[in-house]
Amino acid sequence: MANSKFEYVKQFEQSDHLLPNTWIVVRIDGRGFTKFSAKYGFEKPNDKRALELMNAAARAVMAELPDITIAYGVSDEYSFVFHKTCSLFERRSSKLVSTIVSTFTAYYVHLWPIHFPDTPLSPPLPSFDGRAVCYPTVQNLRDYMSWRQVDCHINNLYNTTFWALIQLGGLDATEAEKTLKGTYAADKNEILFSKFGINYNNELEMYKKGSVVFRDYELVEPGTHNTTVEVDNLAEPVQQSKTQSENDKKRRAKARIVVQHLDIIKDDFWDRRPWLLS
Ligand code: ATP
Ligand code: ATP
Ligand code: MG
Ligand code: MG
Ligand code: MG
Ligand code: MG
C-alpha cells in the first residue's frame, strides 16, 4: 500500500497536535439526554442509577487510559484531565477526544444492564460528543474544575426546587419556572424548607457536588509534607533497586481508582493530593 499514486491524499490531513506543556481537558456530553432521560424514565431531578452509570463508565475510561489524572462528572457530562506532560497519541486532539468518547460510550452501553436491569436499551442508542481544551496554568485548570462544580451546584439547587414545586407542590412547569424567576440561592433554600420541609444540605453529596474520579494512592495530612498513608492493595514492599520516581510511577499505575463527591473548589482537596497536579 505504501507509495501508491493515491497516497498524496494523506497530505490533506490537518495537524491537530495540542499545545505542549498544557493541561488537556476532554469534556464529553450526552447527546440529546433531555429526550434520552425521558425515554428511560430517569427520576427528576436526579436519577441515581444514571449518575452511577456515568461514574462507572468514567472509572473504566480512567482504568484504560492511565494518562488521565482526574475526572469530574455531573449530569450527562464528564471532564477528563490529562497531565501537562502527557504525550499520548502525540497529543493529537482528534485521537484523544475520539478515543475517550468511544471508550466511554462503549462502557456506558456495556454497563447499562447493571444499573438499569429492568430497562433494556433500544435504538436510538446513547451517544456522546467531545472536545479538548488546553489550560496553560494550574490556576486555569482549577478554575475550569471549579466552573463545572459551581455549575453543578447552581443547576442542582434550581432543579431540586423546580421539581419540588412540581412533584410536591402540584405546580406545572410554567408555574414553577415563574415562581423561581429572579430568585437567589437563599430564596430557593427557603422555598424548599418552608414549603416542603426539605433541608437542601441533606441532599446527596453526589447531587450537590458531582463526582470526582482519581487515583487515591496516598493522602497527605493537612500541614505536613511527604507523609503518606499506604492503601491496602499497595502494601507491597518498595524495591530498593528502583529509583523513587520509578516507584512512584508504579504506585500510581497500581492505585485504585475512586469516585468521591468532594469540594474541588477549595484548596484542601488539592493540597491533600499533591500528586494530582505535580
Ligand atoms: P445536548 O445534545 O445539546 O447536550 P441535552 O438534552 O443532552 O442536549 P444537556 O444540557 O446536556 O442537554 O442536559 C442534559 C439533560 O439530561 C438535562 O435535561 C438533564 O436533566 C438530563 N439528565 C442527565 N442526567 C440525568 C440524571 N442522572 N437524572 C435526571 N436527568 C438527567
Ligand atoms: P492503532 O491503535 O494504532 O490503530 P492497531 O493495532 O489498531 O493500532 P491498525 O493499523 O489500525 O493498528 O491495524 C488494525 C489491526 O487489526 C491490524 O493488525 C489488522 O490486521 C487487524 N484487523 C482489523 N480488522 C481485522 C479483520 N476483520 N480481520 C483480521 N484482522 C483485522
Ligand atoms: Mg452538548
Ligand atoms: Mg447533553
Ligand atoms: Mg449536559
Ligand atoms: Mg487501529
Please report how the helices 185-196 and 173-180 are oriented relative to each other, as an axis angle in degrees rounded to 10.
130
Is residue 107 within 8 Å of 57, Cβ to Cβ? yes
pLDDT at 268 over 60: yes
Q: Is 37 in the pocket of ligand 1 (CB under 6 A)?
A: yes
pLDDT, residue 1, reads 56
H runs (alpha helix) in the chain: 33-39, 48-64, 93-115, 138-167, 173-180, 185-196, 205-209, 244-254, 267-271
Average pLDDT over the chain reads 92
pLDDT at 228 over 60: no
pLDDT at 257 over 60: yes
pLDDT at 208 over 50: yes
Query: What ipTM was assigned to the predicted interfaces of this complex?
Result: 0.95
pLDDT digits (tens, 9 = 90+) for 129-163: 999 999 999 999 999 999 999 999 999 999 999 99
* Nearest ligand (C-alpha, residue 89): 2
pLDDT, residue 249, reads 65
pLDDT, residue 255, reads 85
Q: Is 64 in the pocket of ligand 1 (CB under 6 A)?
A: no
pLDDT, residue 250, reads 73
Is residue 68 within 8 Å of 62, Cβ to Cβ? yes
* Nearest ligand (C-alpha, residue 31): 1
Q: Whose alpha carbon is nearest atom 20 of ligand 1? A: 34
pLDDT at 187 over 60: yes
